[in-house]
A and B are shown apart, each in its own frame.
Chain A
Amino acid sequence: MNHWIFNCKAVTRMVSESMDRKLPFYQRMGIRMHLLMCKLCSRYRRQLLFLRETIRLQAASSEDIESAIVLPPGARERIKRSIRNALNLK
């Protein structure tokens, strides 16, 4: 099946690129036409947006989600010591 001028490979690349910059008009139209007819590429696009959304949610809340991760005791002491040393040098 010929989905207008762009094939899936080209569309997946342009869909990704459209998340990083504004594409030229003919590419936006070409993507839209292709997506209307191609279930797989529509899925792919939704999944990339899902990935972005999930990563952003994680980035915005590194506190609650990774609260299990704490600065290891050794590093904690080392960093405290280096701060004290720096303060003494002042």
Chain B
Amino acid sequence: MNQENSSTENTALNPETWVDHYGDYLYCFAISRVRDPSVAEDLVQETFLAALNSIKSFASRSSPKTWLTGILKHKIVDYFRRKSREPTGDDVETAMKALEALFDEKGRWNIKPAEWTADPEKLYGQKEFMDVLNRCLSELSSRLAHIFILREMDGLKTDEICKVLSITATNCWVMLYRARMYLRQCLESNWFKPDSS
């Protein structure tokens, strides 16, 4: 009977309670990647419905949370894949052009990087800093943001990203370069050196 099961198994096998137990966590997870509340809501819903269909495959070894997060990760990748088929203004040429402006004709820095005095362990928990970082991330074009998020948040290798988004490895490296350059600059002017323009 149910009472003999562990509480984790009970939760996993009782879909009615999923939303209350894991809804907020999955929503946070989704929104940190897709950055659009209504898309995040839909992905959470799709995750639960997909989980219902594959409930038999749930191995009670893993926790329901890990299991659901795994399904959500796939849903997010699917979403990025769908989005990558839509035409966007941002491609490799746009990225390259934006990068040109950062250096002079001899390839020297136009705007010199400032010294940052920061320890990630200390900064990452600070709400004000994380708000700035998230704002900078949301200013990236969706294509750049998706590549960057898959690489840095989910730790995908570039060849995996290439497959998902149907781009070449070289394009992927250029886009990551562009995203990092942009974020570096954005953090510098909005957090580390707010006075200078």
Q: Which residues of A contact B (CB under 8 A)?
A: 7-10, 12-13, 16-17, 19-21, 40, 43-44, 46-48, 50-59, 62-67, 69-72, 75-76, 78-80, 82-84, 86-87, 90
Contacts and interface: CB of A to CB of B under 8 A. Distances in A.
Interface in B157-192: 157-158, 169, 172-174, 176-177, 180-181, 183-184, 187-188
Contacts of A72: 37, 41
Interface of B: 15-16, 18-19, 23-25, 27-29, 31-32, 37, 41, 44-45, 48-49, 52, 99, 102-103, 106-109, 112-116, 118, 120-121, 123-125, 130, 133, 151-155, 157-158, 169, 172-174, 176-177, 180-181, 183-184, 187-188
B103 A80 contact: no
A79 B176 contact: no
The prevalent SS among residues of A at the interface is: helix
B106 A79 contact: no
The prevalent SS among residues of B at the interface is: helix
A62 to B, nearest CB: 5
Given A16-B177, A40-B113, A51-B187, A83 B120 contact: no
